[in-house]
Structure 1
Amino acid sequence: MLMTDGEYRIEINGINHWVKIDGSENETVPLVIIHGGPGGNLYTFERTVGPLLAVKRTIVYYEQRGSGRTEKPSSDQDYSIKFLIEDFKEIKNWLGAEKVDLLGFSFGGELALEISDALPEVIHSIVLSAPSLMNSEINKMVQITGFMSVVNNELYNEIQKIQKEALSIDEIYNKVWSLVDTETVDLLLFENQENAKMNRKLWEESNLVNTGLMY
């Protein structure tokens, strides 16, 4: 395939995938963006960081099965790293590129590593942005500590009380998340709250819902 800018609908492993190419005139090794979530999308990235990268790079966006503008599989059971790797392999073949670079953020960073481990011969380089380690205790501890660094005194004391209970990390993590509101989450995620507001606005504008099935 001769890569040309535009949005595409490609049937891969029985699922209609949304793919977009930008910056094809740069004729670089394609930089494939791997979104997080699990089950998130690229709508915000596509309208913020993406155009800046496309000034010098050929960018390939795609949204994973059951995510964003890509169709769900017929079975709610058809979500796994193995399926996602097979989907990526077919997208890479459709692109016709010998090798690609990966930029994975959050869960996408974890998936980028899985893809690179399974298909090392087709990966040129990888950029990881805040890669997650889903379901790992260290990931949950980092988030709990992060919340304690941004919450008000009242909520800080509540979290401290939870930590003194005889609970597992999973139980503490779930209780902390039940206490925090969207404003607190934004304080954790963004140093600049104007960026947080823009992010929320784009989320709402996208009308793309995370069903939770990927997780």
Structure 2
Amino acid sequence: MSEAYAVINGVRHWVRTVGDLRAATPLVVVHGGPGGFIYDFERLTGPDLERHSPVVYYEQRGSGRSDPPDDEQYSIPLLVDDLEELRRHLDLPRIVLLGISFGGDLAAEYTVAHPDRVAELILQGTGLTARGAPSPWVSGFEAVATDKALRTAIRAAQERSGPSSVWDVVDRKTTDRFLFHRPGVATLVRDLWERSGLVNMGAMDAALAAQPPRTRPLVDELAEVDVAVLVLIGLWDRNAGVDGPRDLATRLPRAELRVFEDSAHFPNVEETTRYVGEVARFLVERRIPRTR
């Protein structure tokens, strides 16, 4: 195991590797957010996953234990290039990407930009929905809100400022019901978030939201890449919705869909054993001797 900082495109990134990166194509975990971190995944899912594959954990610029860029520059092309420079830094001919939520979008963007470098792609909790598309957030929060006044506030926030504003009016208990299917898991993850001392300050999210949308849908470009894709979604995922990931798996020529019946947005912690088993099966079925 190795934990260190790597200066990538002028920004110090936190990186941790586990296992022999030369023994098999490593799995690179791409966290969500935008601007989140990977601390809880490392501890709750990582140990089981590491028994099946060498794993690379890293946190994106301005996220978790990585430094923010001095010029506050955030963009999808920059984040993709950071990941490519990380691959080069580690001298990895090819990688398997496991993208979680927003990290799934970033992993897909990298795959489109560098298709020859991606052995397989795993997308968790994302439908690669284009900005401006209908959001499941409002209906999802309304479904789990137990207070009539809160449901009214959610609808008012949506009408006033759009779907993203509903996050500003909901409390922690409602957010936990929205993100997790089982209350005990929500408590476990919350405890780890607090123990980490890491906070998403929102800088990356704000910067990306201000940038123009793609000229062509990401799913259309990904569908043209010859790569095997595993799409993972919790049946109770109100953050990504279920329809988007299901339809994504239908549109990608070499995609498989796995639905976790007892999970919401994080099946990796709500159904860890099955989750790791699905990822391991997907990798083993396609693993070939590594060549340069």
> TM-score normalised by the shorter chain: which range applies?
0.7 to 0.9
TM-score w.r.t. length of structure 2:
0.65
Q: How does 1:41-56 map to 2 (within 5 A)?
A: 41-56=37-52
1:148 corresponding residue in structure 2: 142
Change in 2 beyond 3 A, CA 1:111/1:47: same
Alpha-carbon separation, structure 2, partners of 1:134 and 1:23: 36
Q: Kindly indicate whether the alpha-carbon contact (under 8 Å) linking 2:138 and 2:155 is maintained by their aligned counterparts in 1.
A: no
Gaps of 5+ in 2: 206-292
In 1, the alpha carbon distance for the partners of 2:37 and 2:3 equals 15
CA distance, structure 2, for counterparts of residue 10 and residue 66 of structure 1: 14
Q: After the TM superposition, which residues 1-215 of structure 1 pair with which residues of structure 2 at under 5 Å, given as runs?
A: 5-24=1-20, 27-76=23-72, 78-131=73-126, 133=129, 135-138=131-134, 140=135, 142-155=136-149, 158=152, 162=156, 167=159, 171-174=161-164, 176-215=166-205
Equivalent position SS for 1:101: strand
What is the CA distance between 1:177 and its match in structure 2?
2.9
Q: What is the Cα deviation at residue 156 of structure 1?
A: 6.6
RMSD between superposed Cα atoms in Å: 2.2
- CA positional deviation for 1:159: 5.5
SS at match of 1:137: coil
3-state DSSP of counterpart to 2:35: coil
Contact 2:64/2:198 (CA < 8 Å) preserved in 1?
yes
Aligned residues: 204
Unmatched tracts of structure 1, length 5 or more:
none
Q: Deviations over 1:35-60 (max 9, x none)?
A: 01101111011111111100111000
Where in structure 1 do 4 or more consecutive aligned residues deviate above 6 Å? Answer: none
The answer as to whether partners of 2:145 and 2:151 remain within 8 angstroms in 1 is: no
TM-score, normalization by structure 1: 0.87
Relative to structure 1, is the Cα distance of residues 38 and 117 closer, same or farther in structure 2, using a 3 angstrom cutoff? same
1:89-142 per-position Cα deviation (integer Å, ceiling 9, x unaligned) = 11101221211000000110010111101111100111000026474332x3x1
Secondary structure of 1:209's counterpart equals: coil
Percent of pairs with identical residues? 38
